[in-house]
Amino acid sequence: MKYLEFKALDVLNAYYDFVSVDDAKYLKYIPEEFHNIIESKCDCHSDRITNRSGSVITCCNPRCYIKLGHSLYSMLSYFGVKDIGEETCKKIMKMGIEQGILTVPSHVELLYKYTEFEYLLGAKYESFLDVIARIHTSSMNFHQIVRAVSITGFDTKCVDYFGDIKDSNELMEEFKRYGVVDTMANRRVFDLKKCLSLILFMKDIVLFERAFQGKLYAPALKTVKICITGPVSPEGVYMNRREFIRYCNELSSFEGFKVFEITEGGPATSPYVIADSPSSSAKYSRALEREQDNPGLKVIYTSTEFVNLIRDEVNKCKEIMESQQT
């Protein structure tokens, strides 16, 4: 990103006292003896900028992979991940941007496209799967979502700013009615740079919010352990247990997004016991007992019913992701 492109993004003129490092050298804000020490370009190839006193030097690109790597690290730390360090997070973001995996680009996209980074994460991949599962099953207020997304200036406790806000739509309505600056001033945020960060990263908040605040995952499919008993033929195609689980996992992915991870469990604890026909097997009998002991609870699904559940939820995910592109 060029300095002038960043200035066009700065609708609040929050960086009025900043110039490009090149201009700062030309205007002698940076003494000549430091010209060869202070680089004009960030590692992401964007222009670096500085305030006129030279006390702050930073990349002008809000979506610099280094900045997004820091946000990813902060987000993972918020959910208790300890073995994925900041340098690894920067490598993830650099790879995602350079290879076109992350299209916004946003660190929040990684929560959908994490399978693309399994090789890079190596042994740490399991830790990342744990946080994905934790987020999927979390109930989060709006201020917690803002904190989790870890926008610069809002990467600490946010309840004092947004504790009364229900969702992003409500906040954006306030922005439309009163303007961003007045809205945030009423919420005791007076720093224009923080206000600008919120504007530039609102799409990240919406992406996180829509995906993980109960709008993507219906309660029926929050847990995806299944128990298979007897032969299964989803939509008339015979499959053994391993083939069926693989098929379900294939249906759970689209365009690099992994929506569900289907694994096999036992009949006593799995929310879904897959049986295409009644039988006298111990697994079927245990599932039937659970339904009889808990009126209204559905445990037994045919393979086709379960496949349709997956398809319905994946289609919801597609609709949400398509809305992010408009």
Q: Do both 55 and 87 map to the same domain?
A: no
Specify whether the CB–CB gap between 152 and 191 falls below 8 A: no
Mean pLDDT for the stretch of residues 12-34: 94
Please check the confidence at residue 139 and state whether its pLDDT lies above 80: no
Q: Which of 113-127, 131-145, 269-283 has the highest mean pLDDT?
A: 269-283
Task: Tell me: do 167 and 225 sit in the same domain.
Answer: no
Boundaries of domain holding 304: 219-324
Q: Are residues 73 and 118 in the same domain?
A: yes
Does 225 lie in the same domain as 308? Answer: yes
Q: What is the pLDDT of residues 57-70, one digit of tens each?
A: 999 999 999 999 99
Task: Give yes or no: residues 167 and 108 share one domain.
Answer: no
Which has the closest alpha carbon to 245: 182, 310, 196? 310
Do 126 and 157 belong to one domain?
A: no
The answer to whether 254 and 316 are in contact (CB under 8 A) is no
CB-CB contact of 14 with 192 (8 Å): yes
Instruction: Give pLDDT, residue 161.
Output: 93
- Provide the pLDDT for residue 37: 93
Q: Are residues 223 and 298 in the same domain?
A: yes
Task: Mark whether 229 and 320 lie in a shared domain.
Answer: yes
- Is residue 155 within 8 A of residue 147, CB to CB? The reply is yes
C-alpha Rg value of the chain to the nearest Å: 24
Looking up residue 258, the CATH number of its domain turns out to be 3.40.50
For the record, the structure tokens of 45 come out as 């190839």
Same domain, residue pair 51 and 106: no
pLDDT of 326 higher than 70: no
Q: Tell me the β-bridge partners of 51.
A: 18
- Both 24 and 42 in one domain: the answer is yes
Tell me, yes or no, whether 151 and 114 share the same domain. Answer: no
**Residue 124: its pLDDT value, please?**
87
Q: Which of 212, 228, 254 marks a domain boundary?
A: 212
Identify residue 310 by its one-letter amino acid code: I
Domain end marker among 16, 43, 59: 59
Judge if 153 and 195 occupy the same domain: yes
| Domain endpoint, select from 212, 239, 272 | 212
Tens digit of each residue's pLDDT (9 = 90 or more) over 228-253: 999 999 999 999 999 999 999 888 87
pLDDT of residue 256: 56
Q: Considering its fold, how many domains does the chain have in total?
A: 4
Q: From the CB of residue 305, how many other CB atoms can be counted at a distance below 10 Å?
A: 14
Angle between helices 142-149 and 202-212 (to 10 degrees): 120
pLDDT of 218 reads 34
Which range has the worst mean pLDDT, 27-36, 116-125, 256-265? 256-265
Closest CA to 216 of 136, 151, 124, 302: 136
Q: How many angstroms separate the CA atoms of 232 and 143, rounded?
A: 45
Instruction: Name the more confident of 92 and 260.
Output: 92
Beta strand pairing call for 300-301 and 57-59: unpaired
